[in-house]
Structures are given as C-alpha cells and as structure tokens.
Structure 1
Amino acid sequence: MALDSNATKPHDRLAQALADEMAAVNALIRDRMASEHAPRIPEVTAHLVEAGGKRLRPMLTLAAARLLGGAGDRAVKLAATVEFIHTATLLHDDVVDESTRRRGRPTANLLWDNKSSVLVGDYLFARSFQLMTECNSLAVMAVLANASAVIAEGEVLQLTAAQNLGTTEAVYLQVIRGKTAALFAAACEVGAMVAGGSAAQVAAMRAYGDALGIAFQMADDLLDYGGTSAIGKNIGDDFRERKLTLPVIRAVAAADATERAFWERVIEKGDQREGDLDEALRLMRRHGTLEATRAEANAWAETARAALAEMPKHPVQAMLADLAAYVVARLT
C-alpha cells in the first residue's frame, strides 16, 4: 500500500507499511480474547487492548519477518502472541503498582477489581501459549516461554529493589532488561526465525530488540520527570511510587549527607511532602543525572541501530533504524 507522506513518526510509518498484517493481528486478537463462559474476560481485555496502544511489540515481529521475506500466517499468530503476553503483564503490573491510569484511561483493576485483572491476565498468558503452539516450532516456543519467565523475574526483582537506596545501576539494568527489553528482543527474534533468517540475522534482530527495549524504558523513566499527561501517566508517578529509576539512582550515588537524608525520607520511608517532587528534580539537575540518563538511552538506541547492519537493505530496515532514534528523540 502507498505510504502517507504526512506520517512523520517512525512507528506510524511502520504501522502503515504493515497495515494489512496488523489488521489480521487485530482480528485474531479480538477472536482469541473471546470467552464463551466468562464474559468478564472480553470486557476487561477489550478495555485495555482497544485503548489505542501503538502495538509496537507485534509490529516488531511483523517487521522482522518482512525484512527477511515475510512469514504469512505464522508471523501474524506470533505477533498476536506477543501482544497477549504484553497485555497480560500490563494487567498484572497495574495491580502490583496499584495504578489508576493506563494509556490515559482508568485501569482495569480500578474499573473492575484486582481479582479480575489478575485472572484475566492469567487467561491471556494461557491464550498466548495456545497461539504459539500453532506455529509448530519448539525453537520459537522456547524463545517466547523464556521471555515470559524473564519478564516475571524482572518484575519480582523490581519489587524487591523498590525503595532500596542501595539499588545499583546494574540491578536497574537487569530490571528493565527483564520487564521491558525481554519482550522486545523476543518479538524481533521470533519474527526473524519464522521468516527463515540465518543464525546471524536472528541474533542481530534479537540484539536490536534488546537495545531498543532498554532505550525505550530509559526514555520512559525520563518522561516521568519531564513528559506530559499525554503519555498516559501523571508527571512524578514513579517518584510518588518510590521507584528507583536511573536518574534517581545516580542522584543518590552523588548525594551529600543532606541530600541522602532527603532521599531516605521520600523513597525509603515514603514520607513525601508538598514540594518534594520539585526538590527531587532540583537535585537530579544539580548532579546532571537527567542528561546522563538521556545520553545512556541514546547510546542504547545507537546500539540498536548498529545491530541492523546484519539485515538486508529494505524500507522496513530504515524504519526500524528511525524508530530506535525516535524512542529517545521523543524526550525533546
């Protein structure tokens, strides 16, 4: 199909290039999220699935397959599998984080209850495994099963590291590699696998997804201290939830005794007062941790772009390279 020249964002151009496959993915998602016996399941799922998300992860699966000649129905099923895994983790995350907003709308746990969110998330995980078996590839199943385990591990690690000022940059990287990058990497990897990519090409797409996911999450963590409500959450949500993201970890590491006492009060003890978010921002700016995190995100974006050198020259390859740059450029 002809691309709209007015589409300036890389993910919009990618969505246009993959429009037919994405339509098939969306139709499959609607079909498989149905339940004959439990109407609560499609109610909860539809609230999140149809909330206008970018469908970035399934697009990565389709894009990787397209780069290597496409994989038809198998790629579509795997893209839907990836989206089901992602949606299941969002339902669980909102319960764990006691969130009230997701993609600019009230969360499912707020509209229904925690039990519904957890159980429907479990249902979507089960659906994802049903779908992946239909591709008849144990290697593909292993990649997605491993990713699911790593995602859960990352979430548990984040839970145990929360409010702990001893959390290091290495632990933070392990957390975001689990909770975000693992599914980006797997989405890219299985797309390349079902399209018959070489071992080097499959590894390159996995490396691209891993680095893209890390850059994406670092940028998201920065947006919490300088974005807008349009991103679907309020400014300072991570601060109020006492999450140790990279800008805070670096500010704590550079803190003097007075500053450390501040971080202990607001993060470890949860004693947050009027003006504390502004003070946290002042300290992060003082030590340059926001700009340092931006530079780190840019470096990971460049790592993602470099991984694409293994892939065939193709319009989709250029879109993926632009996407890596955009996930950080959206900060400006």
Structure 2
Amino acid sequence: MSIHMNLIDTIKQPILQEMQLFRETFAEALKTDNPMLETVHEYVLQKSGKQLRPMLVLLSAKLCGHVNQNTVDGALALELLHTASLIHDDVVDDTLERRGKPSINARWTNKIAILSGDYILSKALVCATKTNSLPVLKSIANIGMQLSDGELLQLSNVQVLNASEENYLTIIRKKTALLFSTCTEVGGLSVNAAEDTLVRLRNFGEYLGICFQIKDDIFDYSENISIGKPTANDVRDGKITLPLIFALKNSEGDEKNKVVKIIEEKDFTPENIQTIIHFTHDNGGVAYAAKQMEAYKNKAIDELNGFAGSDVKTSLIRCAEYAANRDF
C-alpha cells in the first residue's frame, strides 16, 4: 500500500497549500448546530479517503491558471456530492463497511444515512452557488442526475445474457467517469479556461474515470491478499462487469451454462464464486479488461499533450498511472 500512498503524496506536491485550504473549508462546510448531523459529519470527516476528486479540480485549475476561491468552492461541491452519493449507495447496496469502517447505515440506520446524504447533497449545491458561475452550477447539477441514472441503469442491467460491453461503458460513464470529467472541467471553468482547453480537460477526466472503474472491476476478480480470497462483491450483487462480460461472450459449452445458471439463480456459495472467478480468468476476461484499462490510461495521458510541461501536468499524468496501477 505504501508505494501507492507515496504516489498520492507525489501527485499532491504542486498543490499542497491549495489542498490544505480545501481540507479546512471542507471541515467548515460540514459544521452544523444539529447534534445528530454533527456526529455523522465528524464520522464522515474521519473516513474521508484520498480526496482524488478535489485534487483533480485543483490540478486542472492550476494547469490553466491560478487556483482561486471559485476553484475551492467547486472542489468542495464535488467532494460533498461524491460523499453524499457514497452514503446513499451504501444504503442501496446494503453495504455494511466502507474503507474498513462501518458504513453510516450500519453505524446508525438507513433513515439517518438517507437524510444525512440529502443534507450533504444540498450543501454541495450551496457551495456550487457560491461560485456565481452558471456553467459550474450546470456541470454539477448534471452530474447529480447522471450518477442516479447510472445506478438505476445498473440495477436494470442484471440479465446475464443482455450484459454487453456497450451497456457496461454507458453505466460506468455515468457512474464514475462523468464525476471525474466534471472535476477536471470545473477546475478549468474556475480559471476561465478556453473552450478547446475545457474539451481536453473533460476528455482527460472521462478516460481517467473509465480507467479507474475498470481497475475496480478487475479487483473483484483478483486474490485479495488481506482476506486471502477473491472478493467477488459485484457478482454477488448481480453486477456483471467487463471481465465477466468478455468471458461470457467468448466462451460456450457446459462451463458457461453453469456460470449463467449460478448468476441467474443467485446461488453464490463460496464454491460457486470460485467457479465464476476461475471461469472469468480462464476465458481471458481479466486480461482483456486490463488491456482496455491500459488503453484508456493512455488516451487520458494523450489529452494532456497540448499542455506545456510542468509539475502540475506531471501530477495529472501520475493520476492516470495511479488509477491503473494502484493495488487497493
């Protein structure tokens, strides 16, 4: 893990002061006189992760100009929106743990998680309005809609034989990639970057997000060192992601039928989970997903070609490398 945390530290190097300002403002944004909310917010702050999304906002702004208050408010709005969506997702997926700690719904209740998520989402919009920028507001309002759209699409996309790479990409664009591309776009908007620059930033964010999500989906089929067995959480939730989509499309016969039957009947015994994992590896699903992930990583880096060399540009390239090479 340490190698990758060091990579995150290296990525942050050009924006250390800006990140410090962001963290202080983030804590400030969650202050409330409601004791219940205050307890939840303190818990949220303890659990805040790598904060990759605000880093992308700040780096994108700094690539094109000087980070200002609008940049920080935009970064805040997006991190709050992301936080709210995770709290709601945990309720939807009955997730009891996030980042090694009990989820909000597990520690309190579904009701408290939903209402806290609603509060944080509304707070995100308050931060977005502080920028007084209609393009920033439009960008952030749109992403809230697309995140839910993506989740709903995924819920309706559970028929094994209907799962296609095209549907998968549509879902991960909405669920993951669009949030990344909104971060890079809002960074650019906050410093009045030109339209052609914004297009490059958006594309960089989108390809980075797709790369990031494919990596997450590959994790589901890999041996998890800490647990000693593959996680296969997506499969259990009926989510059919790229490794399995490819394996199913490029196989036939008894073993394929067996896997389809396990998934359709939701018969997820440990032995059957192993069967699905081995089937996916044996039929090239994980190797194919890794190849696609690498392709999106390179597409992301290519979008930065037009920018002059700088430590900020290097950090953005490292973001793409981190997305593809991280081990957690």
Residue 19 of structure 1 aligns with an amino acid whose one-letter code is L
Change (3 A) 1:124 1:191: same
- Give the deviation of 1:8 after TM superposition: 7.5
1:301 deviates by 0.5
What's the CA shift string for 1:255-305, capped at 9, x where partnerless?
Answer: 323233322332222012231122112211221110100000000000100
CA distance in 2, matches of 1:88, 1:307: 30
The amino acid across from 2:193 in the alignment is: G
Give me the TM-score of the superposition, normalised by structure 2: 0.93
Q: Which residue of 2 aligns with 1:22?
A: 19
Match of 1:33 in 2: 30
Alignment partners' CA distance in 2, 1:67 and 1:308? 10
**1:297 partnered with 2:304:** no
Cα drift, residue 224 of structure 1? 1.6
1:188 aligns with 2:184: yes
Aligned equivalents of 1:72, 1:237: Cα separation in 2: 41
* Selected match of 1:104 from 100, 105, 118: 100
Q: List per-residue Cα deviations over 1:216-256 (Å, max 9, x = no partner).
A: 0000110122153669x972212222211111111221232
- The Cα of 1:11 is off from its aligned counterpart by 2.3
Whether 2:233 is the aligned partner of 1:237: answer yes
- Partner Cα distance (1:55, 1:61) in 2: 10
**C-alpha distance in 2 between matches for 1:178 and 1:46:** 29
Alpha-carbon distance between aligned partners in 1 of 2:25 and 2:195, rounded to the nearest angstrom: 29
Q: In structure 2, what is the Cα distance between the partners aligned to 1:7 and 1:18?
A: 18
What are the Cα deviations for residues 172-224 of structure 1, in whole angstroms up to 9, with x where unaligned? 10111111111100000010111121111111111000000000000011012
Letter in 1 for 2:115: L
Report the Cα distance in structure 1 between the residues aligned to 2:254 and 2:207, rounded to whole angstroms.
36
Q: Is the 8 A contact 1:163 1:243 kept in 2?
A: no
Percent of pairs with identical residues: 32
Structure 2 CA distance for aligned equivalents of residues 234 and 45 of structure 1: 32
Q: What residue in structure 2 maps to residue 3 of structure 1?
A: none
Residue number among 52, 58, 75 corresponding to 1:56 in the alignment: 52
Match of 1:160 among 127, 137, 156: 156
Tell me: CA distance 1:175–1:45, structure 2 relative to 1, closer, same or farther (3 Å).
Answer: farther
* Mapped contact 1:88–1:125 kept (Cα < 8 A): yes
1:311 to 307, 314, 320: 307
Q: Which stretch shows the higher mean deviation, 239-248 or 322-331?
A: 322-331
Residues 147 and 182 in structure 1, CA contact (< 8 A), matched pair in contact too: yes
SS across alignment from 1:313: coil
- 1:261 paired to 2:254: no
Amino acid at match of 2:26: I
Cα deviation, residue 158, structure 1? 0.8
The farther-off stretch of 267-276 and 52-61 is 267-276
Q: Does 1:10 align with 2:25?
A: no
Sort the Cα spacing of 1:319 and 1:34 in 2 relative to 1 into closer, same or farther, 3 A.
Answer: same
* Partner Cα separation in structure 1 for residue 157 and residue 115 of structure 2: 26
Please, which of 170, 173, 185 is the counterpart of residue 169 of structure 2?
173
Task: Tell me if the contact between 2:18 and 2:67 (Cα under 8 Å) persists in the aligned partners.
Answer: no
Over 3 Å counting, the alpha-carbon distance change for 1:96 and 1:8 in structure 2 is closer
Whole-angstrom distance in 1 between the partners of 2:226 and 2:10: 21
The question of whether the paired residues in 1 share the 8 Å contact of 2:54 and 2:183 is answered with: yes
The answer to whether the 8 Å contact 1:68/1:312 transfers is no
Q: Which runs of 5+ in 1 are unaligned?
A: 1-5
The residue type equivalent to 2:68 in the other structure is G
The residue number in structure 1 matching 2:69 is 73
Once structures 1 and 2 are overlaid, which stretch shifts more, 108-117 or 64-73?
A: 64-73
C-alpha contact (below 8 Å) 1:68/1:195 kept by paired residues: yes
**In the TM superposition, what are the counterparts of 1:200-239 in structure 2 within 5 Å?**
200-226=196-222, 228=224, 235-239=231-235
Change (3 A) 1:282 1:303: same
Distance 1:47-1:234 versus aligned 2 partners, 3 A rule: farther
- The answer to whether the Cα contact below 8 Å between 1:7 and 1:13 also exists between their aligned partners in 2 is no
Partner residue in 2 for 1:128: 124
CA contact (8 A) 1:35 1:41 kept: yes
Task: Measure, in 2, the Cα distance between the counterparts of 1:196 and 1:292.
Answer: 39
Distance 1:322 1:268 in 2: 40
Match among 283, 290, 297 for residue 287 of structure 1: 283
SS in 1 for 2:162: coil
Moved more, 116-125 or 267-276: 267-276
Partner Cα separation in structure 2 for residue 259 and residue 276 of structure 1: 12
Question: 1:247 maps to what in 2?
Answer: 243
In the alignment of these two chains, the number of paired residues is 325
Cα shift at 1:49:
3.3
